Amino acid sequence: MKIRATVEKGSDGLFSVYSDEHLGNSYFGGFGDSVAKAKEDFITSVKEAIEEQKAEGLEAPIFEDIQIEYMYDVPSFFNFFDYFNVSKFAEFAGVNESKMRAYKSGSAYPGEKTMTKICNAAHRMAAELSAFTL
């Protein structure tokens, strides 16, 4: 089973993880004051849905066989990957540093073109990191 989950920062400053996928009548969701806590809560909701299916005598997936794909908004991305230097990342992505800080805080939102730049930069960075050895 593959679950596509969206990670967002709310206007209240809390983070949520949710998905349109479900198991039986159980939908998945998580909340927290950090992305890590919201993801942990989300995973708990998936595990609870599996247990509910089993308790009802229905077929249920094995949790270890489930693949969760997370899609982040910009504030959530920088909250979870907090080891990124926002200024350096902005330079790497070709995005104005002060705008990137506003995107990180959630006080502004990037347009489609800027979002593409940010995603491409993150994917380039991942490719570069996976291609090196020590």
List the CATH number of the domain containing 28.
Answer: 3.30.160
What does each C-alpha distance from 2 to 6, 19, 23, 57, 67 come to in angstroms?
13, 11, 11, 22, 5
Number of residues that this document lists for the chain: 134
Per-residue pLDDT reduced to its tens digit, 66-79:
999 999 999 999 99
Can you give the pTM of this predicted structure?
0.85
Residues 8 and 67 in one domain: yes
The tokens describing 65, both together, are 């066989």
Residue 8 resides in a domain: yes
Per-residue pLDDT reduced to its tens digit, 21-60:
999 889 999 999 999 999 999 999 999 999 999 999 999 9
Owning domain of residue 22: 2-72
Residue 47 resides in a domain: yes
- How many structural domains compose the chain? 2
